[in-house]
Amino acid sequence: MGPAWLQRHPFAVEAHFDRSVVLTYSFSAETLRPLLPECLELDTFEERHAFVAAAAVQTRRLRPKGWPRWLGRDFLLMGYRIFVRYRTISGRRLRGLYILRSETDRKSMALLGNLFTRYRYVRSEVHLRAAGARTVVRCEVTGLTVEVVGSDEEERLPLPPGSPFRDWEEARRFAGPMPFTFSVEPGSDQVVIIEGMRENWSPRPVRVIEHRVPFLDTLAGSPVLASAFTTEDVSYWWKKGRIERWRR
């Protein structure tokens, strides 16, 4: 872990997302609320469903913004995030994510990620394989297995059994990524706000063939798969972190 003054996303970062898979799981609000810092509130659906996204992203040429593309590095990133809201000191209500854990297939990314952010990176043998409409995410060590398949008639795909959403349009509100990511410095009232910018972001519903996500077993409650989306060929960048003193 880096010193606190460095773990504030101190510079803008850009990358290209070749393909991403996002599975969103529904929890009761009471289950997830204790996991959040006091300054954040759950972003709920119908006031009782709260959500955790498990997202795998094949990232290419990740680098500080403005650096030549050849200096970028390729990584597989896997993240587990709670959908949240934050009220700024000016009164704006921002939608975003609070990160519980991040995994990557490269040791260098884990080291640098923990040096410059509070995203809780760990090195993992996680891999993403894509062939046509089929995408598989797997980690032999942990038992993580996700397999999804796209469809030409994606809007006619049924939502996963037990999903709280009535249609894919409602589900897209919790497909991620959200405009903002938040972290809080322990023992202080300093909130780090990172804004993400993207191009060509068009989540497509997919059918889930298999999903075993062991990290979710570490959380209380009984998660229900609510939706699954993929995206391809997305340019993405994160602004330098902005620091705000939370007003109680």
Domains of the chain: 13-240 (2.40.400.10)
* pLDDT above 90 for 155: no
Tokens 């996680």, located at residue: 126
**Cβ atoms 190, 132 nearer than 8 A:** no
Identify which has the larger pLDDT, 76 or 185.
76
Main-chain dihedrals φ then ψ at residue 211, nearest 5 degrees: -150, 115
State how far the Cα of 226 lies from the Cα of 167, in Å rounded to an integer.
11
The helix (run of H) or strand (run of E) holding residue 190 is strand 190-199
* pLDDT above 90 for 60: yes
Stretch 172-179: mean pLDDT, rounded? 85
User: What secondary structure does DSSP assign to the chain, as a single string?
Assistant: ---TTTSS--S-EEEEEEEEEEEEEEEEHHHHGGGS-TT-EE--BTTTEEEEEEEEEEEEEEEETTS-GGG-EEEEEEEEEEEEEEE-TTS-EEEEEEEEEEEES-HHHHHHHHHH--S-EEE--EEEEEETTEEEEEETTTTEEEEEE--TTGGGSPPPTT-S-SSHHHHHTTSS--SEEEEE-TTS-EEEEEEEEEES---EE-EEEEEE-GGGGGSSS--EEEEEEEEEEEEEEEPPPEEEEPP-
State how far the Cα of 159 lies from the Cα of 60, in Å rounded to an integer.
30
State how far the Cα of 231 lies from the Cα of 154, in Å rounded to an integer.
13
State how far the Cα of 169 lies from the Cα of 149, in Å rounded to an integer.
19
pLDDT of residue 225: 98
pLDDT of residue 243: 93
pLDDT of residue 248: 63
Stretch 153-157: mean pLDDT, rounded? 78
The whole-model pTM stands at 0.94
pLDDT of residue 2: 60
State how far the Cα of 100 lies from the Cα of 29, in Å rounded to an integer.
16
Q: State percent of the chain over pLDDT 70.
A: 98
